[in-house]
Structures are given as C-alpha cells and as structure tokens.
Amino acid sequence: MIELTEMIRELRADLIAAMAHGATEPLRFELGPVEVEATVAVSREAGGGGKVRVWVVEGGADAKQAHTTTHRITLTLHPRAVAPDGTTQAPMVSGDEVTGER
C-alpha cells in the first residue's frame, strides 16, 4: 500500500512533466479538473498523539490487508499553474498517448 499523499505527489510530478513537455509542442491542452478514484484503508497509530493515515489499497491486497475496512473515495482536483508573481492560470499539458488511456 502507498499513502494517499504519495499517490497525489506522483500525480503532481506527472502533470508537471506533461506541462514541461507541452511547452515545446505546437498543440497543447488546457488541463481541466482531474478526477482520481481509489480504494483506501484508514488506520490510526496507537497512543494519544497518534495520527490518522490514509492508504491506497492495490487490487490484489494480501490477507493481512483483507481484514482492513476499506472505503472508495473520489477526489476532484483543480490544478492551477502558479507564476512567480503569485498569479494562477489553467496549466497547459501535452504528452504521449499511453496504451489503454481514456
């Protein structure tokens, strides 16, 4: 399992790479809302100061994970490119098509 924060961090890195690639392309796409759906497990560390963690569960979870209560969540992210002066705009992306991409 990976933490939800790590999954979002990787998604952000992929979108940044697509923006960098798109900067040199004659045809670019404005990035709209990004929907991410995941099955997650929620766990809490023991103790008074324990924190809650949200883990993304893989499709082939092992027996240990099978006893965990899971939840399906959908996140709608609205990416914005931030300029050095603090203004924001819709990012432009480009990239190669991936097999099975929709």
What one-character-per-residue DSSP string does 42-72 give? EEE-SSTT--EEEEEPPTT--HHHHTS-EEE
Rounded CA separation 60/13 (Å): 25
> pLDDT value at position 8?
92
Q: Model confidence over 8-33: pLDDT tens digits?
A: 999 999 999 988 888 888 888 888 89
Domain limits of the chain? 2-93
Concatenate the DSSP letters of all residues of 13-27 into one string: HHHHHHHHHHTT-SS
The reported pTM is 0.67
